[in-house]
Structure 1
Amino acid sequence: MRIIAGRWKGRRIEAPAGDLVRPTGDRVREAWMSIVHPLLPDARVLDLCAGSGALGLESLSRGAALCDFVEQSPKVLKVLEANIAALGGHAGVAVHRDEALRFAQRLSAGAYDVAFADPPYASDVAQRLAELWLAVPFAAVFAVEHSSAVSLPSIGETRRYGTTALTFFRYQS
């Protein structure tokens, strides 16, 4: 995988081996970043179910001020930390070994400008994170990747890319 744009454009990052992680395809990640790109300069970003860290690292590459990465698997965390180090690190990075829902439940409204979640398709985590965000909008924009066969709350805007869907929730003050 490569970083698509920004200061690390073209730099390679690794995906964890095996089936522990399903990396977001380049086309979908590019579409995702095109949608949130105007919000990224100086943004506070949250990458839930971070995996390789591609979404958070892409955000930092495009000017985000900080990114909190949340990943529960120790094996995947090692790859994430290696990817951060390979890009030279970043002062605004924090890596949390935690389950995405547990981490998000501790957040207050407005804690982040942009939040991403890319949970396993076979779980109900996408639905549960969306419901949690609706109760406590912890980011101005919350974007969730999920199977296109799954519907998230209709307040979100969903875009489909084959078997993958991205649903965006925006806080309206």
Structure 2
Amino acid sequence: MSRIIAGAAGGTTLASVPGSLTRPTTDRVKEALFSRLDAFEVIADARVLDLYAGSGSLGVESASRGARAVDLVESDGKASEVCQRNADLINTVARRKVVSVHRSKVESFLDRAQDSVRWDLVFLDPPYPLDEPALAAVLAKLLPHLAEGAVVVVERSSRSAEPSWPDGMERFAERKYGETKLWFAEPGVEETGEEADAAKDAGPEVSG
């Protein structure tokens, strides 16, 4: 049974999705993940997106730790109902609507997102049957909606290959916890015209 680990609602037991509809992040992995995110200082006042949300535990944990707004995206009916129950828990504690639930396929949700919407922290824990080209397509759809300095966390089986990052998104860390692997990525920093010209003028590096 999952719980909120820390923050305003720390210790609160979360509703779980019945059966094997989802593959929830274990509390051990979640604790390690959020320890790193706290070190990155990306949670407080962040706008958070939890894709393939399952029970919504990662998004709700972010809300408990001070995220400004959280969107949970889940296509399965039973799972989205559990997301709503867990969202209601944290919204009650916060006394305002911090967490919103969207019953939608991830691709459709990103296609509908307004151009001006930018998220600071994004979780993707897709079902293992989702193949790598499909995951790469989702990451490409996500890229235009990342804020400067955003962090993207992809959770996969430790036996899965590294995701194919779209141009403009770069992996900066990875961690393995038993059968789970976490990939951390961020939007790449584009060179300005002056920086590109300077690099061109400098010429190629020559090893002696």
**TM-score, length-scaled by structure 1:** 0.89
The corresponding residue for 1:70 is 73
How many residue pairs get aligned? The number is 172
Question: What displacement does 1:48 show?
Answer: 0.6
Aligned CA distance change for structure 1 residues 15 and 111 (closer, same or farther; 3 Å): same
- Does residue 167 of the first structure (1) align with residue 183 of the second (2)? yes
Q: 1:128 aligns with which of 124, 129, 137?
A: 137
CA RMSD of aligned residues (A): 2.0
- Does residue 158 of the first structure (1) align with residue 161 of the second (2)? no
2:33 and 2:153 map into 1 onto residues whose CA distance is 8
Question: What displacement does 1:32 show?
Answer: 1.4
Match of 2:58, SS state, is: helix
Q: What amino acid is the match of 2:123?
A: F
Contact 2:70 2:98 in 1 (8 A): yes
Long gaps (5+) in structure 1 = none
Residues 1-173 of structure 1: pairs in structure 2 closer than 5 A: 1-37=2-38, 38-87=41-90, 88=92, 90-107=96-113, 108=115, 111-124=118-131, 125-133=134-142, 136=144, 138-139=146-147, 140-150=150-160, 151-153=162-164, 155-156=170-171, 157-173=173-189
2:117 and 2:104 map into 1 onto residues whose CA distance is 20
Worse overlay, 91-100 or 118-127: 118-127
Contact 2:87 2:100 in 1 (8 A): no
* Structure of higher RCO (CA pairs closer than 8 Å, 6+ residues apart): 1
Question: What displacement does 1:33 show?
Answer: 1.1
1:121 and 1:109 map into 2 onto residues whose CA distance is 31
The Cα offsets for residues 111-150 of structure 1, whole Å up to 9 and x where unpaired, read as 101011111012125443334445x353511111111111
Question: What displacement does 1:110 show?
Answer: 6.6
Question: What displacement does 1:36 show?
Answer: 1.6
- Higher-helix-fraction structure: 2
What percentage of residue pairs aligned between the two structures are identical? 40
Q: Post-superposition, which runs of at least 4 consecutive aligned residues in structure 1 deviate over 6 A?
A: none
Question: What displacement does 1:109 show?
Answer: 7.7
1:30 and 1:100 map into 2 onto residues whose CA distance is 25
- The structure number with the bigger radius of gyration is 2
2:89 and 2:185 map into 1 onto residues whose CA distance is 32
The Cα offsets for residues 75-130 of structure 1, whole Å up to 9 and x where unpaired, read as 11111111222342642222111111222244448710101111101212544333
Worse overlay, 102-111 or 148-157: 102-111
Q: What amino acid is the match of 2:126?
A: P
1:34 and 1:109 map into 2 onto residues whose CA distance is 30
